């Protein structure tokens, strides 16, 4: 954590919030809770159940092996 005057915080924004004059100082530790109550959890749609990493890695390894074999001619 790097303390800054006003204690600005990182937060996802709505497109409608990207207006001229927007400043990191508009989003502070004191106001972020009220903002969450007002706009909701903007990470909600992004941070879902995720993927099964073992299944994904297995699929990638299979593709890699197939591509390697094809490049070697067999």
Range of the domain at 51: 15-72
Report how many domains make up the chain: 1
- Residue 5 inside a domain? The answer is no
Look up the pTM and report it: 0.48
- Give the pLDDT confidence score for residue 8 in this predicted structure: 86
pLDDT digits (tens, 9 = 90+) for 25-64: 888 988 888 989 999 988 877 777 777 899 999 999 999 9
Is residue 42 a contact partner of residue 14, using CB atoms and an 8 Å limit? yes
List the one residue out of 35, 30, 34 whose CA is nearest residue 17. Answer: 35
Q: Which residue has the higher pLDDT, 49 or 21?
A: 21
- Residue 7 inside a domain? The answer is no
Q: Which residue has the higher pLDDT, 46 or 1?
A: 46
Compute the C-alpha angle 15/16/19, nearest 5°: 100
Tokens 């001619």 belong to 73
């Amino acid at each position: 954590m790097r303390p800054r005057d006003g204690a600005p915080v990182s937060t996802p924004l709505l497109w409608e919030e990207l207006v001229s004059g927007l400043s990191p100082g508009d989003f502070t530790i004191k106001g972020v809770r009220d903002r969450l109550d007002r706009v909701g959890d903007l990470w909600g749609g992004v941070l879902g159940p995720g993927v099964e990493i073992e299944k994904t890695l297995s699929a990638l390894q299979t593709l890699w092996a197939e591509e390697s074999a094809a490049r070697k001619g067999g």
